[in-house]
Structure 1
Amino acid sequence: MTGPLSGRVALVTGAARGIGLAIATRLADAGAHAIIHDRDAAAADAAVADLRAQNHAATALIADLAEPSAPAAMAAQLMAKGTEPDILVLCASVEMLENWDAVSEAAMAAQTQINLHATVRLLQAFLPGMLSRGFGRVIAIGSVQEARPNPTHLYYAATKAAQTNMILNLARTTQAPDVTFNIVKPGAILTDRNRTVLAQPGREQQVLARIPLGRIGRPEDCAGTVLLLCSPEGSYINGAEIAVDGGLRL
């Protein structure tokens, strides 16, 4: 399929559902070959089948980012197929809701492993190829929690803020003419992860009262911003933190 991203390969982590799938679909709509990463093989295969039914190029890539060796193995697998990514969207994350006095060792370890350690490993696995080819787009999916964390998000918010710091560091120090690093920060988005929370009595009304636009966001609301950052029109955007939250952070 032709489009502004024709010939590009986009690896989206955690892309079998939710925001990741919406992003991968939008990039595929624009002509990119979408690499659907997830640890859920059945969900990833279903997403790929749906994209291929729409005449999009798509491939599943199954790996558990909690495994330290996973990113290097992912890179080797893609290289063997000749589908090295030009675009890396860091969407996979772990979010565990715990108040400060109940944060567990297991929750800290899981969120650190995926939100921080896997970020570094994925960058080490895929950024060198982008630099050598002279084109790259790295986009981290952050969170409104970085700016306005809920009491239950003490540790999660801290890991996402640290991830943002990494991306901004690379945006400033990499200094490659056509390799950019940006962060998209969703607010309250109706994903499988958030449906359970929003279904709690009175919770959706409480959240809506904090959003100036007065509605819960859709995964697709984030996808258009990512497409801009990957497109020629977004080639001079580097080191940006773009909130897609309806004003929730304010």
Structure 2
Amino acid sequence: MTLSTALSSFDLHGKVAVVTGSTRGIGCAISEAFAAAGAAIVAHSTDRDEVDARVADWSARGWRVAGCVADLGAPDGVRNLHRSVESSLGTADILVLNASVEIIQPWRDVTEESMLRQSQVNLHATVGLIQAFLPAMSSRDWGRILAIGSVQEERPNAGHWFYSATKAAQTSMILNLARNERAPGVTFNVLRPGAILTDRNRARLADPAFEARVLENIPTGRIGVPADCAGAALLLCSDAGSYINGAVLAVDGGMRL
């Protein structure tokens, strides 16, 4: 295989990529990598201002983009996102399950309300999104479903008792599909970030003592940034990764070790 052939396998021209929670952090970095590779992308959030800002920015770069405001924890959230994509960009080829709710509570403090919210977005929406987008991928014999997991699945902190359980359950769903769906052109994988400097983690990592404790567990000696996840996602969601199915790829600097 020549270098040009290898590089062309990362090309996403003609593909439609849906990354949930794509206006910031890891979802934003992945969406921008997909768009740079040629895909049409979706700016999705629960915040109208964030969506509008991303649509303006990405459109100015010459990318094909649609905006969608949808709460995946609401009864009509998945349906609204699916309809928005279908009407504006067409049938999706790539689905990245990135949006999640993380409520930090030790087991004694977990409430029904927090369990319900995390379950609705992290699990119920996962089921709904797959049921909405997978059939068309299977019928065309090309598709990519990628879940963004968490290092909390392997190294759970006490405060992530319920959240880590929802992410582990999501991974189980993806691996079940990878084993049993047997769709030749459709793959199911998990990308598992470690400590990444996102808006969600910025306040905690701004505490020098907390950051020092985190860094003690990372062999590469640095906190990751959202762009660290983009290349791995592009591999798993392009033809370059067509024979990668059922993988759980850690992007954590070795934190899981």
The residue number in structure 1 matching 2:13 is 6
Q: Does 1:139 align with 2:146?
A: yes
Alignment of 1:207-222 (within 5 A): 207-222=214-229
Counterpart residue type for residue 72 of structure 1: R
Counterpart residue type for residue 51 of structure 2: A
The residue number in structure 2 matching 1:172 is 179
Structure 1 position 67, deviation (Å)? 1.1
Check conservation: 1:71, 1:122, Cα contact below 8 A: yes
Counterpart residue type for residue 57 of structure 1: R
Inter-partner Cα distance in structure 2 for 1:49 and 1:31: 18
The residue number in structure 1 matching 2:96 is 89
The residue number in structure 2 matching 1:52 is 59
3-state SS in 2 of match to 1:16: coil
Inter-partner Cα distance in structure 1 for 2:219 and 2:225: 16
The residue number in structure 1 matching 2:199 is 192
In the superposition, the TM-score normalised over structure 1's length comes to 0.96
Q: CA RMSD in A?
A: 1.3
Check conservation: 1:16, 1:40, Cα contact below 8 A: no
Check conservation: 2:40, 2:89, Cα contact below 8 A: no
Inter-partner Cα distance in structure 2 for 1:70 and 1:103: 25
Structure 1 position 82, deviation (Å)? 4.8
Name structure 1 gaps, 5 residues minimum.
Answer: none
3-state SS in 2 of match to 1:202: helix
Query: In structure 2, which of residues 243, 246, 255 is the aligned counterpart of residue 239 of structure 1?
Result: 246
Name structure 2 gaps, 5 residues minimum.
Answer: 1-7
Query: In structure 2, which of residues 220, 223, 231 is the aligned counterpart of residue 224 of structure 1?
Result: 231
Query: In structure 1, which of residues 19, 29, 47 is the aligned counterpart of residue 26 of structure 2?
Result: 19
Inter-partner Cα distance in structure 1 for 2:221 and 2:132: 41
The residue number in structure 2 matching 1:114 is 121
Alignment of 1:68-107 (within 5 A): 68-107=75-114
Counterpart residue type for residue 212 of structure 1: P
Structure 1 position 81, deviation (Å)? 3.0
Inter-partner Cα distance in structure 2 for 1:231 and 1:125: 21
Structure 1 position 74, deviation (Å)? 2.1
Inter-partner Cα distance in structure 2 for 1:94 and 1:161: 14
How many correspondences in the alignment? 249
Check conservation: 2:86, 2:92, Cα contact below 8 A: no
Structure 1 position 188, deviation (Å)? 0.2
3-state SS in 2 of match to 1:88: strand
Q: Select between 26-35 and 69-78 the one with higher mean Cα deviation.
A: 69-78
Check conservation: 1:136, 1:178, Cα contact below 8 A: yes
Counterpart residue type for residue 203 of structure 2: T
Counterpart residue type for residue 126 of structure 2: T
Counterpart residue type for residue 224 of structure 1: G
Structure 1 position 76, deviation (Å)? 2.3
Q: Select between 154-163 and 105-114 the one with higher mean Cα deviation.
A: 105-114
Structure 1 position 135, deviation (Å)? 0.9
The residue number in structure 2 matching 1:62 is 69
Judged with a 3 Å threshold, the aligned counterparts in structure 2 of structure 1 residues 82 and 204 are, in CA distance, closer, same or farther, namely closer
Q: Does 1:43 align with 2:50?
A: yes
3-state SS in 2 of match to 1:83: coil
Judged with a 3 Å threshold, the aligned counterparts in structure 2 of structure 1 residues 226 and 112 are, in CA distance, closer, same or farther, namely same
Structure 1 position 41, deviation (Å)? 1.4
Q: Does 1:150 align with 2:150?
A: no
Q: Select between 20-29 and 62-71 the one with higher mean Cα deviation.
A: 62-71
Inter-partner Cα distance in structure 1 for 2:32 and 2:86: 22
Q: Percent sequence identity over matched residues?
A: 56
Inter-partner Cα distance in structure 2 for 1:79 and 1:55: 21
Structure 1 position 201, deviation (Å)? 4.7
